[in-house]
Amino acid sequence: MLRITVHDNPELLTFQLEGRLAGPWVREAEQCRQRALAGRRRPTVRFDLVGVTFIDAAGKAYLAAMHGLGAEFVAADCLTKAVIAEITKAPIPACGPPKREDETQPALNRGAT
């Protein structure tokens, strides 16, 4: 299942996707995009993928096509960031848990008496 929420303002049209971008839901996402863009000037289009839990080959191809049309992407988890990096030919951003403050400081005098 895929939930699509459209956030519309004059200069930016954001499609917030939640769930699985796969199978028949890819076609639904495209139909929603076409309806939202009908009769409008070309706003910046952004796909918010923070809530996406799965992307199949059709979903990846769709995102690649949207990138070709100039779409922007927002992603949060490592897998989605990696898919977007592959599509956009950008470096894969750092992933993993944030470091604790004491791990970022030099280990000088740690535990010394």
Task: Determine the pLDDT at residue 112.
Answer: 46
User: Each residue's pLDDT tens digit in the chain (113 positions)?
Assistant: 999 999 998 889 999 999 999 999 999 999 999 999 998 888 899 999 999 999 999 999 999 999 999 999 999 999 999 999 999 998 877 776 655 555 444 444 444 44
Cα first-last separation, the chain: 59
User: Which residues are registered as beta bridge partners of 61?
Assistant: none
Look at the pTM and tell me if it is higher than 0.85: no
Task: Determine the pLDDT at residue 109.
Answer: 47
Are the C-beta atoms of residues 54 and 28 closer than 8 Å to each other?
Answer: no
Task: Determine the pLDDT at residue 43.
Answer: 85
Are the C-beta atoms of residues 22 and 55 closer than 8 Å to each other?
Answer: yes
Name the helix (H) or strand (E) containing 14. Answer: strand 12-21
SS3 1: coil
